[in-house]
A and B are shown apart, each in its own frame.
Chain A
Amino acid sequence: MKRCVACGEGRVVPVGGEGRRTGYKNLTDLEVPADLVIPTCNHCGVEWMDDEVAQRMDTALEPVYRKRLSQMAAQALEALAGVVRQGELERKLGLAQGYLTKLKRGNRVPSAELALHLAAIALNPESRLQEMDDLLEFGFTFVLGQRSSLQGLAIEDLACTQTGIGPSQASPQWDSIPYKERSHAVPVAA
């Protein structure tokens, strides 16, 4: 047993078991597999990592990370089921047709970007889907302009100055219609 250089009080001992949490890549609260033994100070709790330990930790945490991403995407898709058709969502996100079905069935693991994007949409579907429509139709500059101090200008003025496209759907009336009731959103069969 080595002494802990960090605290000078404890000894570094192999620690495994349940209930340990850690960050991995961009997720901050993953459960460390119980069978992963990490040299840990028995006084201050610092974990000590050399090349061999780092490699073992990455190997053990990668499947946990991928599982969490899959869960996040599946939960988001479930929440979005009554709001937007899957095919419509695939088109908006530039995904291959049927890809989201594969995610739901666990046949594909989403990237961190896609899982977070789906979760962000599902947390506030009306706004996010409207933003996506605006972004795809009018571009980033126009949508940003809507949120900036340029809001003092008429939307038609903005559209002419930024894109030259008349934002026929970006009217106040359009905003007030729930997303799933708009003409392009086809209701999902029960």
Chain B
Amino acid sequence: MTVMPHWPLEEVKRIASKPGGLCVAVRDTKDHFGGRSEALKAARRVIDKLTPGDFAHSRQLTWDKADVYGVRLRDSGWYLKLCIDSDDAGPDGKQVVVISFHPLDRGIRTNGGKVEP
């Protein structure tokens, strides 16, 4: 059964593609992309290519709801968790917030099938 993301993909893509429309959380000290700007570019590229088949599930956070995707990037499976923040940031007062973006620790089930690390 196909499950749909909480945040409409087309809106996510539209906001993230704009300058200032994307904000990414950095947790670990490992740089996977050769610089922060490259990391942001990579996140934008991945978001731009997201399809409903990449969607795994939605998760309720403390205040927000986030969508989780499993994608293939550079021969590995990656975990992507995002939401749209309307807290007066980015163009039009909205910003796509990437809460997690890292290589998968274990496989994740998506609409398109299981994505392995």
Contacts and interface: CB of A to CB of B under 8 A. Distances in A.
Interface of A: 2-3, 5-9, 21-26, 28-29, 46-55, 57-58, 61-62
Given A2-B87, A9-B62, A52 B35 contact: no
A36 to B, nearest CB: 11
Interface of B: 19-20, 22-31, 34-37, 39-40, 61-64, 83, 85, 87, 89-90, 95, 97, 99
21 contacts: A2-B87, A3-B87, A5-B63, A5-B83, A6-B99, A23-B30, A24-B31, A26-B34, A28-B31, A46-B26, A47-B25, A47-B26, A48-B26, A50-B90, A52-B20, A54-B40, A55-B36, A57-B36, A58-B37, A61-B35, A62-B35
Contact of A29 (B29, B61, B90, B95): B29
A50 to B, nearest CB: 5
Contacts, number: 85
Contacts of A55: 36-37
B89 A2 contact: yes
A50 B28 CA distance: 17
B23 A48 contact: yes
B29 A51 contact: no
Closest 6 CB pairs of A and B: A8-B62, A54-B36, A23-B31, A23-B29, A47-B26, A57-B36
B35 A24 contact: yes
B23 A58 contact: no
A5 B64 contact: yes
Nearest to B29: A23
B35 A50 contact: no
Of A5, A7, A47, A62, most B-chain CB atoms within 10 Å: A5
Given A22-B29, A25-B34, A51 B40 contact: yes
Given A49-B23, A50-B95, A58-B36, 19 more contacts: A5-B97, A5-B99, A6-B99, A9-B62, A21-B29, A22-B29, A22-B31, A24-B35, A25-B31, A28-B31, A46-B25, A47-B27, A49-B24, A49-B26, A50-B20, A50-B23, A51-B19, A51-B37, A57-B36
